[in-house]
Chains A and B, each alone.
Chain A
Amino acid sequence: MLKTPTIGESLRNEGISRREFIKFCATAASLMALPATMIPKIAEALSNTPRQSVIWLSFQECTGCTEALTRAHAPSLENLIFNTISLDYHHTLQAASGTAAEEAREQAMHKHPGEYLLVVDGSIPIGNPGYSTIAGISNQDMFLEVAKQAKAVIAVGTCAAFGGLPKAAPNPTGAVAVQDLLRDKPLVNVPGCPPIPVVISSIVAHYITFGGLPDLDNLKRPLPFFGQNIHDRCYRRPFYERGQFAETFDDEGAKQGWCLYKLGCKGPVTYNACALFKWNDAVSFPIEAGHGCLGCSEPNFWDAGSFYDALSIPLPGAAKAAAYAGIAGTAVGIAAGALNMYKKSTAIQQREVVTVDDLERK
């Protein structure tokens, strides 16, 4: 039987130097807020471990997550991480198609039962199995089958983590998140639309090094990356404190780089690492580019009202509620008023007139 090459071996075959490799380990350690003393441990674990088998399933998604991961600037951590795993099945990236592709998946599952990592992007429709199928297999069936033997599951992107856009009201396909179907398996959610690529690679590195997943928050997001909110890390925060806000996208405030709260920024309620790692090789991130945060790493961000409404504005429907209440209040008020007036007038009519003479007579 052919021995699976270790990560170290395959990196050397790829012509990646020891120096670059250690640099990757150092970055991974710092990203996960691990002490520098862990770097040799990561390096050792990565170079001596056989490449981790990964099965990547894509369901109701837009391929943005995969795009984000593969379009990262080269040479990058992301490219390195592709060398540390053996991506045994990925709809979009694999060359094989049709039956051959499905065979590859079966093979990977049988070769490493209970050992492979399952990465999922996209939500799973349970409204009708026919809404999304691969090789005639419904998403739900395929997911449950592959998840059964997986060692851990990584839900990549907001669709897999929380349902995402496919779940937006009225949720026509009955889309659910991975965590709604998964029981008794370690799961980590890496939400984001798309998620930050380096987070995915760091989690894989963490998994290979320590054999487990990093600490998670209550939404099962890795704390090292989702522990802080955008607002707390935002360089526009001093403007927020001073009450200096851009009112439109092209006013003086916007040009001065003032806070985008009034233009709908959801940074205060969004936990993600954008403000820290940024995008496009750490060039910028939405708020820096002049657009408020959409809150894409939070559940239901797609149904949380307009992206351009400030956080303090209630969700749509207030005007309707007010109108109904106005009509009901007026109607009941008039009725109560009529009753009062009736009582008052009958009281006046039935009033017995008592004169001083009457009193003296008694």
Chain B
Amino acid sequence: MDNYADFLLWVRGPAFHIALAIFLFGILLRFFEIFSLGRRTEYAEVRGNAFLGGMRTLFTRFLPEKTTLKRILFLVIAGYLFHLGFFITFLFFDPHIVLFKSALGFSWPGLPAPIINIVTLISLLVMIALLIYRLNHPVLRLLSGFQDYLAWTITFLPLLTGYLAFHHMIHPYPLILALHILSVELLMILFPFTKLMHTFTFIIARWTTGARAAQKGVSL
């Protein structure tokens, strides 16, 4: 691989295939593991509908409760901004949509590049602010381990390289485009084996918590 053009072909081809395979393999493995563990038998008297309770909690947990909200207002707002920004960029930038279309067979309208540009910039700044907050908060700092910083880094890199590529800030362009794709592949590879798996598991976790409580007659 003696030039950037070959590098780009490698990340678009073999590297992507490997990353995709590990991503899917890891996710399937994690789901089988989680579901095969099953739920503990509930001996309490049934006092409510577990399914509906689970569904309710799934949504009510999108908003923190009032006292918590007051204490961690910054985290809530920053967390929302970053998550929304990340997914808007990921799902509504036209070149990304073309990729989804080729994989899924259907597509949706994209957003104009200048909007994606601003959203990405906001996400980047918010992520940096969140990192500074984490490093400075006495409790959060103690709670944070290697995996938290790893998760931050592999999420930050695709946004950063994407932003640099979009603005042609690094020359030659095929090189930064290749680095962008590579950073996404890194994210895909580590995704199933890190806390990033919460992208999917939050649904199971919330539902289970809500369902258990509902069955006992408690609504969360």
Contact = CB atoms under 8 A, between A and B. Distances in A.
Interface of A: 218-219, 229, 231-232, 240-243, 245, 261-262, 268-269, 271, 298-300, 303-305, 309-315, 317-318, 320-322, 324-326, 328-330, 332-334, 336-338, 340-341, 344
B26 A329 contact: yes
Contacts of A333: 28-29, 31-33, 36
Contacts of B29: 329, 332-333, 336
Contact of A325 (B4, B8, B20): B20
Given A241-B114, A333-B28, A314 B6 contact: no
Contacts of A326: 24-25, 28
B16 A298 contact: no
Contacts of A303: 9
Nearest to A309: B102
B103 A337 contact: no
Interface string B169-197: 00011100100000000000000000000
A219 B5 contact: yes
B112 A242 contact: yes
Contact of B12 (A298, A314, A329): A314
Interface of B: 3-6, 8-9, 12-14, 16-18, 20-29, 31-33, 35-38, 94-96, 98-99, 102-103, 110-114, 168, 172-174, 177
B28 A232 contact: no
Nearest to A343: B37
Among B5, B8, B172, the most chain A Cβ lie within 10 Å of the Cβ of B5
Given A299-B3, A337-B33, A344-B38, A329 B28 contact: yes
Among A219, A231, A321, the most chain B Cβ lie within 10 Å of the Cβ of A321
A64 B99 CA distance: 34
Nearest to A342: B36
A269 B95 contact: no
Nearest to A304: B9
A336 B28 CA distance: 11
Contact of A269 (B5, B20, B35): B5
Contacts, number: 135
Contacts of A313: 98-99, 102
Among B18, B29, B102, B113, the most chain A Cβ lie within 10 Å of the Cβ of B29
Contacts of B102: 309-310, 313
A337 B32 contact: yes
A242 B180 CA distance: 22
B13 A314 contact: yes
B32 A330 contact: yes
B63 to A, nearest CB: 32
What 3 pairs between A and B have smallest CB-CB spacing? A333-B32, A337-B36, A329-B28
Contacts of B98: 261-262, 310, 312-313
5 contacts: A311-B177, A325-B22, A329-B26, A332-B29, A333-B29
Contact of A232 (B35, B112, B168): B168
- The secondary-structure label for the interface of chain B is helix
Contacts of B172: 229, 271
B21 A243 contact: no
Nearest to A245: B94
A325 B12 contact: no
A223 B5 CA distance: 16
A234 to B, nearest CB: 13
B174 A315 contact: no
B149 to A, nearest CB: 27
A269 B173 contact: yes
Contact of B24 (A271, A322, A334): A322
Contacts of B23: 325
A317 B13 contact: yes
A243 to B, nearest CB: 5
A340 B36 contact: yes
Given A310-B98, A318-B16, A329 B36 contact: no
Nearest to A348: B41
Nearest to B112: A243
A330 B29 CA distance: 7
A241 B17 contact: no
A314 B17 contact: yes
Nearest to B10: A315
Given A310-B95, A314-B99, A340-B36, A321 B113 contact: no
B32 A312 contact: no
Nearest to B15: A314
Contacts of A309: 102
B5 A324 contact: no
Nearest to A328: B25
